[in-house]
């Protein structure tokens, strides 16, 4: 299958990932101010929320301007890590881990938390699918390049 036939799928996956990461960034920037007092001597939950939001923005912009396997992989890591953090801290009281404060929150409130975890999960799945698609395209392009660059031997 030619790379051009994958282009609409690639564009759709990038759009899904970027929208999911944008929601993740918005929610974390919006909610960060709610947690300045939950902190250790080094970090606050507000700092971590802002860092996650910045990582989501960087991943989205990287994917928009440079849609490659490594940017799709980075977007997957950011979205999947956000999903995992929300789910773990919702169901497990992990406690303080070194400089990371205890962020246990046994409730699915406020609404933005639900929105964020759904967007992060969808973005993670789409980013993984995009990574696989770009990997397949890269392999098929290298195979095509090898086939056209190798000398033909004709027997008479």
Closest C-alpha to 52, from 126, 128, 113, 129: 113
Does pTM surpass 0.95?
no
pLDDT in tens, the chain (156 residues): 455 667 999 999 999 999 999 999 999 999 999 999 999 999 999 999 999 999 999 999 999 999 999 999 999 999 999 999 999 999 999 999 999 999 999 998 899 999 999 999 999 999 999 999 999 998 887 676 666 665 555 555
Question: What is the per-residue pLDDT for 66?
Answer: 97
Task: Supply 130's token pair.
Answer: 């995009």
The answer to whether 137 and 5 are in contact (CB under 8 A) is no
What span, in angstroms and rounded, lies between the C-alpha atoms of 32 and 49? 5
């Amino acid at each position: 299958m030619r790379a051009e036939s994958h282009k609409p799928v690639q564009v759709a996956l990038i759009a899904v990932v970027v929208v999911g990461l944008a929601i993740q960034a918005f929610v974390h920037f919006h909610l960060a101010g709610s947690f300045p007092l939950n902190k250790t001597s080094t970090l606050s939950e507000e700092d971590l929320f802002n860092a996650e939001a910045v990582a989501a923005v960087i991943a989205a912009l990287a994917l928009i301007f440079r849609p490659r396997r490594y940017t799709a992989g980075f977007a997957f890591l950011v979205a999947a890590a956000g999903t995992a953090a929300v789910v773990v801290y919702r169901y497990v009281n992990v406690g303080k881990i070194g400089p990371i404060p205890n962020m246990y929150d046994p409730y699915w409130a406020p609404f933005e938390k639900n929105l964020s975890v759904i967007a992060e999960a969808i973005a993670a799945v789409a980013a993984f699918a995009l990574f696989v698609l770009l990997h397949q395209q890269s392999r098929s392009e290298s195979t095509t390049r090898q086939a056209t660059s190798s000398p033909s031997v004709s027997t008479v």
